[in-house]
């Protein structure tokens, strides 16, 4: 998960994953002035967080929340 320390949605995404007791790697982009371009190249998104599962970009917090709400997060993690 690509994050910054000042991002409220990053905190929400981490809280959701922590609540499900899921491990994740957090990559802080605070010190990278060009982080939005880097994110776009890596994930296709411009905002943080950008979350990848098994190398596949799923989007940000809203997409993660929807996946969890609809049961898709559990399905992705089992696959």
How do residues 64-78 score in pLDDT, each as one tens digit?
999 999 999 888 777
Residue boundaries of the structural domains of the chain: 2-78
Rounded to an integer, what distance in angstroms lies between the CA atom of residue 17 and that of residue 30? 21
Q: Which CATH class is domain 2-78?
A: alpha beta
Task: Kindly report the three-state secondary structure assignment for every residue of 44-59.
Answer: CCCCCCEEEECCEEEE
Report the percent of the chain where pLDDT is more than 90: 62
Most trustworthy range by pLDDT among 5-19, 26-40, 62-76: 5-19
Mean of all residue pLDDT scores within the chain:
91
Token duo for residue 11: 């905190």
Q: Say what the pLDDT of residue 34 is.
A: 87
Q: Say what the pLDDT of residue 79 is.
A: 65
Rounded to an integer, the average pLDDT of 33-38 is: 87
């Amino acid at each position: 998960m690509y994050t910054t320390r000042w991002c409220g949605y990053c905190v929400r995404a981490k809280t959701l994953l922590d609540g499900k007791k899921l491990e994740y790697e957090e990559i802080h982009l605070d010190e990278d002035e060009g982080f939005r371009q880097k994110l776009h190249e890596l994930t296709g998104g411009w905002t943080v967080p950008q979350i990848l599962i098994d190398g596949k970009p799923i989007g940000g917090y809203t997409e993660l929340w929807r996946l969890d709400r609809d049961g898709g997060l559990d399905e992705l993690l089992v696959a």
